[in-house]
Amino acid sequence: MTGKYRFYKTPEHKWFIDIPEWTKDIAELQMVLGADTMLDVASGNTNECFLKLSDVPFEGADEARLIENLQDSIGGGNYLMETFRGELVNQEMWLCEVTEYVFGYLPASIYVELTAA
């Protein structure tokens, strides 16, 4: 699965993924526990960015690697993104069960590239 997703920061400095077809509580789309920090990096500390996400490698992508599967406890998993746009970041982040919604399962690796709107 490969797709492009918009992420946005609210005036309260909370990051969310924009999934218009989402029917559950919007609070479930909030990016927390390191994912918000990574989005600050990806966005250049602005309020919005667009990321191409895939569960298969592609040219120009950085990898977020699953380091702890949490499906049997809180859902989702902890990922480590060592680099972003070729720069060392070593950012750990929890990606909630929305990851499973996006991909249909919890990928061992998620490939990420900053892209235009």
State what percent of residues in the chain have pLDDT above 90: 91
- Domain housing 20: 2-115
pLDDT value of position 117: 82
Give the predicted TM-score (pTM) of the model.
Answer: 0.93
The number of folded domains in the chain is: 1
pLDDT value of position 1: 85
pLDDT value of position 16: 97
Confidence band (pLDDT; 50, 70, 90) for 112? very high
Query: Is residue 58 a contact partner of residue 2, using CB atoms and an 8 Å limit?
Result: yes
E-assigned strands of 10-116? 15-18, 30-31, 48-54, 62-69, 77-84, 87-95, 109-115
